[in-house]
Amino acid sequence: MIKGTTQLLGVIGYPVKHSMSPIMHNAAIATLGIDYVYLPFPIAPERLKTAINGFAAMGLTGFNITIPHKQTIMPLLAHVSPVAQAIGAVNTVWWNEGSWHGTNTDAAGFMAPLQALGRDWSQSPALILGNGGAARAVVAACHQLGCPEILVVGRSAEKLAAFAQGWKTSPLQPPLAVHAWDRLNDLLPRVGLIINSTPVGMAPHGAASPLTDAQIGLLPSQAVAYDLIYTPRPTQFLQQASTAGLMPFDGLEMLVQQGAAALEIWTQQPPPVEVMRQSLLDYLS
């Protein structure tokens, strides 16, 4: 029940109508029986600063950030955590002692299902397809997992160079190398973890995959295939990987776990992860 005492949480983006965060957070809030509500806020880029000041005036407890604000919000925050500085993006903000604090829970969310495997990743080079915003969180996560090499493959030499340059000043120093897309066939045979961090294969283009069957066949049989996409389930990329006998992971768990980590920051309570996961599964089905 929304009352006079109800505290506000939310997600900002532009657009934000596709976001599934309100579904899982409000399901968690109901389960915890706490006096919060989580709302979507479409904020145009030129209104970001006004919105943040407005949120402070309204007394929001905190909020998530999605495209296109993950980088541009950083200078508007009083404190940015080391992990968010290293990634160069913030996805979770909270109000504390009169100012906004930000961090990034995407890397922790990405890592959670891989850590649950209990595998030693120190012999598993990681290969990331794509060099966008999510790839930065994945680089930080692969570094934290202990992957000995992190290979980032992209289609634009200019953007790849900028991506590599961005890590030069980061407090993290991941063992990173960037490669053009046409180098893929040489790289695939030595990879232990491959991640699709491009939108290729996302609904409504679910028949597409970033790799051909022949390229999937070049991966070692013990490799793990991870697609950040969660619609369709499974993606074409993960279907190919399963057929080749690789272990598949999709982006749903990352979404759930980054949200759970954010909710814990805001409420200081253990999040009901299973409820959050099930709310998304119910919605998607």
168 is annotated as an active-site residue: no
Q: Is 199 in the site for ligand NAP (CB under 6 A)?
A: yes
Strands (E), 186-282: 193-196, 224-227, 247-249
Q: Is 202 in the site for ligand NAP (CB under 6 A)?
A: yes
> Which one among 104, 198, 209, 235 touches ligand NAP, defined by CB under 6 A?
198
Print the binding letters for residues 4-43 with ligand NAP: x by CB under 6 A, - otherwise.
----------------------------------------
Phi and psi (nearest 5°) for 180? Answer: -70, 155
**Minimal distance in Å, beta carbon 228 to ligand NAP?**
4
The active-site residue, picked from 3, 70, 159, 168, is 70
Binding window for ligand NAP (CB under 6 A); candidates: 124-132, 143-151, 171-179, 212-220: 124-132
Q: Is 140 in the site for ligand NAP (CB under 6 A)?
A: no
What is 125-182 written as a DSSP string? -EEEE--SHHHHHHHHHHHHHT-S-EEEEES-HHHHHHHHHHHHTSS----EEEEEGG
Place of tokens 């992209």: 154
Q: Which of residues 224-243 bind ligand NAP (CB under 6 A)?
A: 228-230
CA distance linking residue 222 with residue 227, whole number of Å = 16
Catalytic residues: 70
- Which residues contact ligand NAP (rule: CB under 6 A)? 67, 106, 130-135, 154-156, 159, 197-200, 202, 228-230, 251, 254-255, 258
